[in-house]
């Protein structure tokens, strides 16, 4: 079950240097700041420890 679930998780990280004239960057900064002020929480359905394990696995493979 875990192997099947792992195959369905796709995480893609991109580095965007702040304020580097990338189209939409200012709006992304605005949304990120607004998100930190929100009292709403996002339920992802997986414990944070599992998500961390999956992310760590991508970096160490």
Domain ranges of the chain: 2-60
Which of 28 and 43 is assigned the larger pLDDT?
A: 28
36: tokens are 């930190």
Q: Is the pLDDT of residue 29 over 60?
A: yes
Rounded to whole angstroms, what are the CA distances from 45 to 4, 34, 59? 15, 23, 22
According to the model, what pLDDT value does residue 44 have? Answer: 62
Give the pLDDT mean for 11-24.
70
Please state, in angstroms and rounded to a whole number, the distance separating the CA atoms of residues 31 and 14.
Answer: 17
Residues of the chain with pLDDT > 90: what percent?
A: 0
According to the model, what pLDDT value does residue 36 have? Answer: 82
| pTM recorded for the entire structure | 0.34
According to the model, what pLDDT value does residue 5 have? Answer: 61
């Amino acid at each position: 079950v875990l192997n099947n679930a792992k195959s369905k998780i796709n995480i893609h990280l991109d580095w965007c240097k702040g304020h580097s004239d990338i189209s939409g960057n200012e709006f992304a900064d605005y949304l990120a700041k607004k998100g930190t002020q929100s009292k709403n929480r996002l339920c992802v359905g997986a414990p944070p420890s599992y998500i961390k394990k999956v992310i760590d696995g991508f970096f160490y493979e």
